């Protein structure tokens, strides 16, 4: 394997890992606050279709990105209303959101399937992108990927350094204690869910505006679910989310590698790889039940209402 | 500092709080002067918690007036209460285990106080001044219960504290630790801080408080000076003329050994949990053995090993035996067929399924009593059993179809205990049998346990309530850090001594295998 | 706050069953609104969607044909969900059942005896159970979250099916179309009546219905499953074997989904094609919840869901509406159901902001 191929693989790894990273960062914040939102796939799809339609209709890619985020947020608001406001089971509500999002995006996007769009183009940063091996990976990407780097830094800072991070963690560990302390539990959780929605929408927008600028039914292909596994894989730690996202990115482009070393495997079998990888990773990471429990936010997925 | 003319620090007038279907506080008057230590006494459900939450701004009163330094106030939220100098130490600590001491304190203090790092020196200073050693950078989950309470108190002392509210603070402490806490509280009061001390333990109220307000059924049933009242007078104020206040049961010495725990050591895989080491214990037929201890010292682990929720490998099966048969490797249902019955600490979510009916909850543990035939549930028989439990143990419920969660704590506990007793157990293990139960139900539960004992069953009671253990158990011991003290006849033991055992002051178990035939003398 | 919730203390039994009805009504209302926004006459659209498909016996038989796989999957899911085992993998288990059943049928192309059908159905059922068994194994052995593993297995199953239908199981005489040869008659589920496509899967579904009803409503095993779902600690406290119950629930769940899958290929389709299921396995999730995890409730809910599928096809043909309305309605219905379920445990109180403020002001003065 030569250096060029390796550089290409790293470049593609980041491109493929980015949507996972974006969704997983949003879900991380959400889960840290104690809310399990399984609706990522639905929010991503809705973001993708809205972003695509807006960009194509207005010719403005950034407006597409913005409305993709708004679309994700809109769906997450539904989740927040039912799961937090009405105290419904979070697992079921998340599933409902995914089913709804899949249906809604297919419905809305039916007339837009297969239309061409010129999406975000890579912007090579002079000099830096010339660095061997990692130059292309880090400095010759499209602008949404640069944005994902910034968002990662922001989330890492919030969770590890800021008071907001402390509050999110406190609410996720013990809503009762947090509420007794005067922290607005439901407001914190709602905002975390909305942030998750915006990130999922952005990830969807990235897919339909930059990664493969087009709209197709179910184009997220389970990335929302993989991102959920990613958060478990990362043991709810932000740097591991980054690592995991790119590792999964790598697993999804293994066919490039296979081609590179001259293997021919049927494409349907190769397409299974990221899903198999997800299962393997889940198994490796969850084996130690006690350890998983140590890292998982204590109140994750449990309904909570201000007490009496 | 306080002058006779100054208004009380806090004055409540006719405070009421209406919850759907229940009047939790009914026109309550209470006042507390600067530097005063006032007790708020009352049973579970008397309205103490609600009143405290109103003072601390967690909830709003339906009507009534709250004055702070003579000024009418509306306590919007805890932040406002803290801003005025009101601090509160909760019974179930409001601490976050995954955060450090400093982070916990910073969260409570608001943005203005600074970052956790900036607060560290101040935390050290305050904790030293009041004799409560604390390391600010430690994670809370690595602290003992007593240390966690210190975090809560230090958190309140970090600000200019005017009124400190403590909710049953000694329930998690050994008697010695409680004395240390009292020293700190007296010192605070001497500096002018008012203290509202919520408790139901009369002895410590008398030792600490200058005045007391007693609540019963949401109303003030009296104000008094604790030092001038007898226990009985105070108890009457708390519970009215309820039966069973003074019951004492004859102590007995038991017959043949039923349950034997033989050098049981168990490593807890959970790093937050407690491991057990060399537990040696014998419970004889016809006696009640009581095990005291502060929560988190291995009670849950020991209970799980006795019930069968935690099992040992076959090679270790004889570590626990019932009537000579090894059972440590058996599942709970197999142990039940051998005659074990069990009342766990948590009624809802462990001893009973909250969303299932009482019928179904009877089936839950009694399914081996002919209630299932060819894999199908015999609904009629289940219903009969449930009705019998309800009748014999005077469980107040509309009928056996009521969901377990709809019963009051005392009634559900009577149901669970009745369910176990009707299975004619040879050995009954009961954890905190009267925790959170009103006096009437507690007395009924005690009488049922004594009756079962007198019928020849062996009974093991694990409880945090030392008074209860002295009342009903024939022999007593204590757990501390996963080790069990020697057991002694209750009649010949003082509470102080058990208190020392709870703090771990007992000699390590000798590596002999002689059964403790006579109550061992306490090692000093 | 406009709406405040007041805990009832105990479940409201009427609301338990009114809530799904309310959810269905709300879904139809929002659907009508959507149609109106899109410029269709709502009444006409609803007619196309819900009434026109049932105009004749053929329509009714088509409804049943579509309801069978949904019913089978949902019955299985109900068993798993009662144990709070969130099996999202009915779709994958269905596909595996179809795949294995087809593989068996293609082996038995020349067999004439009725046993061929038995083998085919058995192969599909076992394959579905085995596919769910992977989730059970990962969950009990490695503590891996069953939601994520079962959904991953859906994607893997789909790709596996595509691989086989494009490769090893492709009809050599099929002009390179991605589909298998037609099964032999002996491997096909017989038709129930001459007109329409309603097939012998009906009997399988009725059998499953009775079995699941006895299991969940009458048997001690069902009681154990419910206890496990409601309160894991209590189940451990009395010695119910959690791992065994998880295995059992998932195997039943997978077997029924597998049966649904093989019922499709051996029934109406008659060969293996890439689109065995238009998302029946996902629809079954909504159906299981809508039917309150109760076998009889599930029968009603799966008929309603089948009607939505049928209506979706009809609306596409006659009104040029995207067929995705079916899925859209599924999601909406589940959402409304969860929202309405709040009424089971809470009593709603409408309050206007000013009224609340006034009450507060009175309380403090």
Whether B105 and B204 map to the same domain: the answer is yes
Annotate chain C with three-state secondary structure. CCEEEEECCCCCHHHHHHHHHHHHHHHHHHHHHHHHHCCCCHHHHHHHHHHHHHCCHHHHHHHHHHHHHHHHHHHHHHHHHHCCCCCCCHHHHHHHHHHHHHHHHHHCCCCCCCHHHHHHHHHHHHHHHHHHHHHHHHHHHHCCCHHHHHHHHHHHHHHHHHHHHHCCCCCCCCCCCCCCCCCCHHHCCCECCCCCCCECHHHHHHHHHHHHHHHHHCEHHHHHHHHHHHCHHHHHHCCCCHHHHHHHHHHHHHHHHHHHHHHHHHHHHCCCCCCCCCCHHHHHHHHHHHCCCCHHHHHHHHHHHHHHHHHHHHHHHHHCCCCCHHHHHHHHHHHHHHHHCHHHHEEEEECCHHHHHHHHHHHHC
Nearest to B167 by CA among B9, B52, B296: B52
Flag whether pLDDT at A195 surpasses 90: yes
Whether B51 and B129 map to the same domain: the answer is yes
- Give residue B518's pLDDT: 40
For B172, the token pair is 């998690």
| B518 assigned to some structural domain | no
- Give residue B1's pLDDT: 45
ipTM: 0.89
Enumerate the β-bridge partners of residue B264: B279
- Give residue C357's pLDDT: 55
Flag whether pLDDT at B288 surpasses 50: yes
Whether B469 and B322 map to the same domain: the answer is yes
| B516 assigned to some structural domain | no
Whether C242 and C330 map to the same domain: the answer is no
| B437 assigned to some structural domain | yes
Whether C310 and C356 map to the same domain: the answer is no
CA separation (Å) from B192 to A97, B185, B188, C335? 57, 11, 7, 57
- Give residue B246's pLDDT: 59
- Give residue B522's pLDDT: 40
Residue B319 DSSP symbol? G
Summarize pLDDT for C9-50 with one digit per residue, the tens: 677 788 888 899 999 999 989 988 988 888 888 888 889 888
| H-helix or E-strand spanning residue B276 | strand B276-284
| B408 assigned to some structural domain | yes
Whether B184 and B220 map to the same domain: the answer is yes
B117 φ/ψ sector (left φ>0, alpha ψ -120 to 50, else beta): alpha
Q: Determine, for residues B406 and C237 on separate chains, whether the beta-carbon distance falls below 8 Å.
A: no
Nearest to C156 among A107, A276, A283 (CB): A276
Whether C142 and C10 map to the same domain: the answer is no
CATH classification of the domain holding B477: 3.40.50.300
CATH classification of the domain holding C177: 1.10.3470
Summarize pLDDT for B291-346 with one digit per residue, the tens: 998 888 899 999 999 999 999 999 999 999 999 999 999 999 999 999 999 999 88
Flag whether pLDDT at A285 surpasses 90: no
- Give residue B265's pLDDT: 93
CA separation (Å) from C309 to A165, C52, C59? 46, 13, 12
Residue A85 DSSP symbol? I
Enumerate the β-bridge partners of residue B216: B219
B113 touching A (Cβ < 8 Å):
no
> CA of C345, closest CA in chain B: separation in Å?
11
| C226 assigned to some structural domain | yes
Enclosing domain of residue C365: 1-40+322-365
| B4 assigned to some structural domain | no
CB distance B375 to C220 below 8 Å: yes
- Give residue B515's pLDDT: 42
Q: Round to whole Å and give the CA distance between B360 and C229.
A: 14
User: Could you say which residues of chain C have pLDDT below 70?
Assistant: 1-4, 9, 350-365
Confidence of residue B4 (pLDDT cuts 50, 70, 90): low
Enclosing domain of residue B259: 254-339+428-509
Summarize pLDDT for B130-148 with one digit per residue, the tens: 888 888 999 988 887 788 8
Flag whether pLDDT at B512 surpasses 70: no
- Give residue B243's pLDDT: 56
Annotate A52-67 with three-state secondary structure. HHHHHHHCCHHHHHHH
Q: Determine, for residues C234 and B377 on separate chains, whether the beta-carbon distance falls below 8 Å.
A: no
- Give residue B231's pLDDT: 76
Summarize pLDDT for A151-184 with one digit per residue, the tens: 999 999 999 989 999 999 999 999 988 888 888 9
Whether C290 and C329 map to the same domain: the answer is no
- Give residue C16's pLDDT: 84
- Give residue C172's pLDDT: 87
Count how many domains chain B has. Answer: 3
Q: What does the mean pLDDT of chain B come to?
A: 87
- Give residue B199's pLDDT: 82
Summarize pLDDT for B63-121 with one digit per residue, the tens: 999 999 989 989 888 888 888 999 988 877 678 988 999 999 998 887 777 888 899 99
| C350 assigned to some structural domain | yes
Confidence of residue A271 (pLDDT cuts 50, 70, 90): confident
Whether B357 and B377 map to the same domain: the answer is yes
- Give residue B410's pLDDT: 83
In this complex, the chains that touch A, judged by 3 or more CB pairs closer than 8 A, are: B, C
Nearest to A168 by CA among A35, A308, A8: A35
Q: Round to whole Å and give the CA distance between C232 and C220.
A: 16
Flag whether pLDDT at A255 surpasses 80: no
Whether B114 and B235 map to the same domain: the answer is yes
CB atoms near residue B161 (< 10 Å): 19
pTM of the model: 0.89
Whether B191 and B51 map to the same domain: the answer is yes
Flag whether pLDDT at A66 surpasses 90: yes
Find which of B304, B373, B376 to mutate to test the C interface (most C CBs within 10 Å of its CB).
B376
| C304 assigned to some structural domain | yes
Domain boundary among B175, B204, B239: B239
Range among A199-208, A221-230, B187-196, C347-356 rated most confident:
A199-208
CB distance A55 to A196 below 8 Å: no
Q: Round to whole Å and give the CA distance between B243 and B240.
A: 9
How does C182-198 read in b/e, with b if 16+ C-beta sit within 10 Å?
Answer: bbbebbbbeebeeebbb
For A103, the token pair is 């249906």
Count how many domains chain C has. Answer: 2
Residues in chain A closer than 8 A to C236 (CB atoms):
none
Rg (CA), chain C: 23
Whether C31 and C166 map to the same domain: the answer is no
A179 touching C (Cβ < 8 Å):
no
- Give residue C355's pLDDT: 52
Whether B93 and B194 map to the same domain: the answer is yes
Q: Determine, for residues A166 and B57 on separate chains, whether the beta-carbon distance falls below 8 Å.
A: no
Size of interface B-C (CB pairs under 8 A): 77
Residues in chain C closer than 8 A to B403 (CB atoms):
10-11
Identify the three-state secondary structure at position B349.
coil
Identify the three-state secondary structure at position B107.
helix
Nearest to C234 among B364, B372, B402 (CB): B364
Summarize pLDDT for A71-130 with one digit per residue, the tens: 999 999 999 999 998 889 999 999 999 999 999 999 999 889 989 888 898 888 888 888
Q: Which domains, ranges and CATH numbers included, belong to chain A?
A: 3-121+132-295 (1.10.3470)
| H-helix or E-strand spanning residue A108 | helix A90-109
Whether C290 and C330 map to the same domain: the answer is no
Residues in chain C closer than 8 A to B406 (CB atoms):
9-10
């Amino acid at each position: 394997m030569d250096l060029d191929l390796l550089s290409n693989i790293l470049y593609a790894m980041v491109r493929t890992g980015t949507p996972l990273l974006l969704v997983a960062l949003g879900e991380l914040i959400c889960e840290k606050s104690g809310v399990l939102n399984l609706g990522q796939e639905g929010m991503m799809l809705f973001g993708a279709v809205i972003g695509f339609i807006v960009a194509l209709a207005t010719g403005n890619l950034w407006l597409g990105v913005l409305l993709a985020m708004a679309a994700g947020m809109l769906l997450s608001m539904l989740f927040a209303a039912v799961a937090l406001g009405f105290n419904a089971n979070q697992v079921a509500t998340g599933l409902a959101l995914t089913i709804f999002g899949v249906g809604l995006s297919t419905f809305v996007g039916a007339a837009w399937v297969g239309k061409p769009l010129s999406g975000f183009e890579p912007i090579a940063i002079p000099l830096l992108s010339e660095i061997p091996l990692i130059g292309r990976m880090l400095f010759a990407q499209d602008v949404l990927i640069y944005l994902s780097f910034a968002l990662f830094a922001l989330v890492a800072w919030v969770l590890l350094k800021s008071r907001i991070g402390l509050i999110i963690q406190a609410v996720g560990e013990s809503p009762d204690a947090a509420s007794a302390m005067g922290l607005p539990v439901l407001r914190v959780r709602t905002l975390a869910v909305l942030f998750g929605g915006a990130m999922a929408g952005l990830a969807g927008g990235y897919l339909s505006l930059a990664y493969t600028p087009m709209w197709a039914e179910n184009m997220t292909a389970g990335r929302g679910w993989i991102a959920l596994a990613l958060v478990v894989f990362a043991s709810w730690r932000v740097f591991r989310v980054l690592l995991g996202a790119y590792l999964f990115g790598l697993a999804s482009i293994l066919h490039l590698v296979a081609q590179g070393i001259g293997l021919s495997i049927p494409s349907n079998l190769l397409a299974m790889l990221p899903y198999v990888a997800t299962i393997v990773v889940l198994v490796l990471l969850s084996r130690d039940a006690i350890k998983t429990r140590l890292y998982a936010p204590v109140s994750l997925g449990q309904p909570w209402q201000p007490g009496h | 500092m306080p002058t006779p003319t100054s208004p009380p620090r806090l004055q409540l007038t006719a405070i009421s709080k209406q919850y759907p279907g229940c009047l939790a506080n009914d026109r309550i008057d209470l006042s507390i002067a600067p530097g005063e230590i006032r007790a708020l006494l009352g049973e579970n459900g008397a309205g103490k918690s609600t009143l405290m939450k109103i003072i601390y701004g967690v909830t709003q009163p339906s009507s009534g007036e709250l004055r702070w330094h003579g000024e009418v106030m509306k306590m919007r939220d805890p932040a406002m209460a803290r801003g005025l100098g009101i601090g509160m130490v909760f019974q179930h600590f409001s601490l976050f285990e995954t955060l450090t001491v400093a982070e916990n304190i910073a969260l409570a203090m608001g943005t203005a106080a600074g970052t956790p790092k900036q607060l560290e020196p101040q935390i050290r200073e305050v904790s030293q001044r009041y004799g409560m050693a604390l390391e600010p950078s430690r994670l809370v989950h690595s602290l003992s219960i007593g240390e966690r309470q210190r975090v809560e108190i230090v958190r309140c002392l970090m600000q200019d504290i005017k009124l400190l509210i403590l909710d049953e603070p000694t329930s998690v402490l050994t008697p010695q630790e409680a004395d240390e806490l009292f020293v700190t509280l007296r010192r605070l009061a001497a500096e002018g801080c008012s203290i509202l001390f919520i408790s139901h333990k009369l002895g410590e109220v008398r030792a600490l408080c200058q005045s007391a307000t007693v609540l019963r059924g949401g109303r003030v049933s009296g104000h008094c000076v604790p030092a001038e009242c007898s226990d009985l007078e105070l108890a009457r104020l708390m519970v009215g003329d309820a039966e069973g206040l003074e019951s004492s049961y004859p102590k007995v010495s038991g017959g043949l050994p039923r349950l034997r725990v033989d050098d049981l050591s168990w490593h807890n895989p959970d790093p937050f949990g407690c491991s057990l080491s060399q537990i040696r214990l014998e419970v004889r037929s016809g006696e009640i053995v009581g095990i005291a201890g502060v929560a988190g010292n291995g009670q849950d682990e020991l209970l799980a090993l006795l019930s069968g929720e935690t099992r040992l490998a076959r090679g270790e099966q004889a570590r626990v035996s019932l009537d000579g048969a090894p059972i440590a490797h058996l599942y709970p249902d197999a142990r039940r067929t051998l005659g074990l019955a069990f009342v766990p600490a948590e009624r809802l979510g462990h001893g009973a399924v909250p969303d299932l009916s009482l019928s179904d909850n009877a089936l839950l543990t009694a399914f081996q009593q002919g209630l299932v035939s060819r894999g199908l549930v015999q609904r009629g028989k289940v219903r009969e059993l449930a009705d019998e439990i309800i009748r014999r143990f005077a469980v107040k419920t509309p009928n056996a179809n009521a969901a377990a969660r709809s019963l009051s704590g005392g009634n559900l506990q009577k149901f669970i205990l009745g369910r176990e007793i009707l299975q004619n157990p040879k050995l009954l293990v009961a954890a905190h049998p009267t925790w959170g139960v009103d006096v009437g139900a507690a007395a009924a539960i005690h009488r049922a346990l004594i009756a079962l004992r007198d019928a020849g069953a062996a009974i093991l009671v694990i409880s945090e309530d030392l008074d209860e253990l002295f009342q009903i158990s024939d022999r007593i011991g204590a757990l501390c850090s996963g080790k069990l003290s020697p057991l002694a006849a209750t009649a010949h033991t003082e509470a102080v001594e058990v208190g020392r055992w709870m703090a771990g002051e007992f000699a390590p178990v000798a590596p002999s295998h002689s059964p403790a035939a006579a109550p061992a003398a306490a090692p000093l | 706050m406009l709406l405040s919730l007041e805990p009832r203390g105990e479940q409201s039994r009427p609301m338990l069953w009114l809530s799904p009805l309310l959810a269905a009504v709300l879904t139809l209302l929002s659907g009508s609104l959507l149609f109106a926004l899109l410029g269709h006459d709502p009444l006409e659209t609803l007619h196309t969607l819900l009434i026109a498909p049932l105009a004749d016996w053929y329509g009714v038989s088509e409804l049943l044909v579509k309801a069978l796989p949904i019913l089978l999957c949902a019955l299985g899911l109900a068993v798993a969900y009662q144990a709070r085992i969130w099996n999202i993998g009915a779709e994958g288990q269905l596909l595996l059942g179809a795949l294995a059943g087809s593989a068996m049928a293609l082996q038995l192309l020349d067999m004439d005896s009725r046993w061929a059908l038995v083998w085919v159905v058995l192969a599909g059922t076992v394959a579905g159970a085995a596919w769910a068994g992977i989730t059970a194994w990962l969950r009990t052995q490695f503590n891996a979250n069953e939601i994520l593993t079962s959904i991953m297995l859906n994607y893997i199953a789909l790709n596996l099916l595509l691989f086989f239908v494009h490769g090893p199981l492709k009809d050599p005489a099929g002009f390179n179309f991605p589909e298998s040869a037609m099964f032999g008659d002996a491997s096909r589920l017989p038709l129930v009546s001459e007109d329409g496509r309603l097939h012998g899967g009906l009997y399988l579904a009725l059998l499953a219905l009775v079995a699941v009803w006895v299991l969940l409503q009458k048997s001690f095993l069902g009681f154990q499953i419910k206890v496990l779902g409601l309160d894991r600690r209590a189940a451990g406290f009395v010695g119910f074997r959690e791992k065994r119950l998880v295995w059992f629930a998932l195997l039943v769940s997978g077997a029924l989904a597998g049966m649904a899958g093989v019922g499709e290929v051996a029934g109406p389709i008659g060969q293996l094609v890439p689109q065995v299921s238009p998302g029946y396995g996902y629809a079954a999730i909504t159906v299981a919840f809508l039917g309150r995890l109760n076998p009889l409730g599930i029968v009603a809910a799966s008929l309603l869901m089948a009607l939505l599928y049928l209506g979706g096809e009809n609306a596409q043909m006659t009104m040029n509406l995207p067929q995705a309305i079916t899925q859209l309605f599924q999601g909406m219905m589940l959402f409304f159901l969860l929202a309405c379920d709040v009424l089971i445990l809470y009593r709603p109180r409408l309050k206007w902001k000013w009224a609340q403020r006034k009450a507060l002001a009175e309380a403090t003065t």
